[in-house]
Amino acid sequence: MTIHRASISDLAAQLNLSVSTVSRALSNNSRISEATKQRVWELARQLHYQPNHLAAALRKGRSNTIGVVIPHIDGQFFALVVKGIETLANQAGFNVMICQSNENVAQEQKNIEALLNAQVDGILVSLSLSTHDFQHLEEVRRRGIPLVFFDRIMESEQVSAVVLDDYQGGYDAVCHLLEQGCQQIAHLGGPQHLNICKNRYQGYVNALRKYGQAVNPDLIHFSDLSMQDGRDGMAMLLKKVPHLDGVFACNDLALVGAMQMVKRQGLRIPQDVALAGFSNELFDSLTEPMLTSVDQRCEEMGRTAVELLLEMITAGKHPVTPRHVVLQPTLLIRGSSQRVPAGSIAV
């Protein structure tokens, strides 16, 4: 019925107080007497008073909203990161606005613009596959809006970021494959302008070196890492090197595609070909055999990104020196790579 929401001035009128007194009472200001506060609170309760955040935001120059731009929400990884982001942000009294770039720079630019227009207090970004140009992100910094990258970052000392130690993850996974006796390990890699793909690839390379194996270009295939890319890539690799006996993929989607192709060729997993991937997707435990994968501490990444952002937001104008946080990955060893019974725990 009451289509009109009670505002501070309604309260003030009914209580014969000034608007400012009511405002202060509501924010529990110490200069207001206890008696007055009680009267205000009581009436506020009765009238279902709810503060208008837009007005407050306008006045304070802060919207208490943070924006998030991610490549896509489907799949375990970003969903969990977002959960982490939301949890911490909400705790801190911030709303979260999520946008998907669909791996498309143009959309990413639009997302950023929309967030800026909505006057968000800060922005978290994980880059799209197709982002080579960073002007829209520079613009954010130029305007003095706090900005933190996570996972897929713009590599720069100037700006804060939270990443996984992708190098270590790749290194661990490949070392594990080597320890299982693999001699010809292939790599399904992603776009090399993305830090995560580049670093996982580096991990692969260095693990091989460490074990005294040469890096064979015929065993390496780069793509955008869709499931289809995984299938196709695997087919090509097997054509070039029929006796390859291990695969490290830059993500699990490509890995599962590769697995399908390996099976189709009648090869056994892990006896003939051992597999390891990255991301610890939900489906990893549902395939046969289950897929070995590097866990990315998704929620923690989300929470940490929010922490960095809040630091910057509360710091206000006083510039905070950019921070880089690196999280340590965990290799989850499962059936797709486990040849010799070992002490590792299958999940």
Partner DNA sequence: TTAGTTTGTGCAATCGTTTGCACAAACTAA
Partner DNA sequence: TTAGTTTGTGCAAACGATTGCACAAACTAA
Would you give the binding string for DNA spanning residues 58-97, x where CB under 7 A is met? xxxx------------------------------------
Residue 226 CA to residue 238 CA, distance in Å, equals 18
Would you give the binding string for a second copy spanning residues 26-65, x where CB under 8 A is met? ------------------------xxxxxx-xx----x-x
| Residue 255 lies near DNA (rule: CB under 7 A) | no
Structure-token pair, residue 271: 């006896």
Question: Taking the CB of residue 83, how many other CB atoms lie within 10 A of it?
Answer: 14
Residue 152 CA to residue 42 CA, distance in Å, equals 50
Scanning residues 1 to 60, which ones bind DNA (CB under 7 A)? 5, 7-9, 16-21, 23-24, 26-27, 31-36, 49-52, 55-56, 58-60
Q: Which of 73, 92, 325, 347 binds a second copy (CB under 8 A)?
A: 73
| Residue 192 lies near DNA (rule: CB under 7 A) | no
- CB-nearer residue toward DNA: 40 or 291: 40
Between vectors from CA 336 to CA 331 and to CA 337, what angle results, nearest 5°? 60
Binding partner selected for residue 318 from DNA, a second copy, none, CB under the kind-specific 5 to 8 Å limit: none
- CB-nearer residue toward DNA: 6 or 236: 6
The candidate with the shortest Cα–Cα distance to 313, out of 149, 133, 122, is 122
- CB-nearer residue toward a second copy: 170 or 302: 302
289 upstream amide cis, omega within 30 of 0 = yes
Q: Which of 13, 106, 286, 342 binds a second copy (CB under 8 A)?
A: 286
Q: How far is the CB of 321 from DNA (least distance, A)?
A: 27
Binding partner selected for residue 114 from a second copy, DNA, none, CB under the kind-specific 5 to 8 Å limit: a second copy
Q: How far is the CB of 65 from a second copy (least distance, A)?
A: 7
For residues 168-199, b (16+ Cβ closer than 10 Å) or e, as one string?
bbbbbbbbbbbebebebbbbbbbbeebbbbbb
Q: Where does residue 266 fall: left (phi above 0), alpha (psi -120 to 50 degrees), or beta otherwise?
A: left
Q: How far is the CB of 228 from a second copy (least distance, A)?
A: 12
Would you give the binding string for a second copy spanning residues 234-263, x where CB under 8 A is met? ----------------------x-------
- CB-nearer residue toward DNA: 20 or 265: 20
- CB-nearer residue toward a second copy: 117 or 321: 117
Q: How far is the CB of 185 from DNA (least distance, A)?
A: 57
Binding partner selected for residue 40 from a second copy, DNA, none, CB under the kind-specific 5 to 8 Å limit: none
Would you give the binding string for a second copy spanning residues 316-335, x where CB under 8 A is met? -x------------------
Give 206's contacts (C-beta < 8 A, 6+ positions apart).
167, 171
Q: How far is CA 191 from the centre of its chain?
A: 18
DSSP string, 197-208: HHHHHHHHHHHH
> What angle do helix axes 298-315 and 76-91 make, rounded to 10 degrees?
40
- H helices of the chain, in order, are 8-15, 19-26, 34-46, 53-60, 76-91, 105-117, 135-142, 166-179, 195-210, 227-240, 252-264, 298-315
Binding partner selected for residue 288 from DNA, a second copy, none, CB under the kind-specific 5 to 8 Å limit: a second copy
Phi, psi of 182 (to 5 degrees): -70, 140
Residue 82 CA to residue 90 CA, distance in Å, equals 12
Binding partner selected for residue 38 from DNA, a second copy, none, CB under the kind-specific 5 to 8 Å limit: none
Residue 165 CA to residue 150 CA, distance in Å, equals 12
Phi, psi of 58 (to 5 degrees): -60, -50
Q: How far is the CB of 215 from a second copy (least distance, A)?
A: 30
Return residues touching a second copy (CB under 8 A): 1-3, 5, 50-55, 57-58, 63, 65, 72-76, 79-80, 82-83, 86, 90, 95-100, 110, 114, 116-119, 142-144, 256, 282-283, 286-288, 317
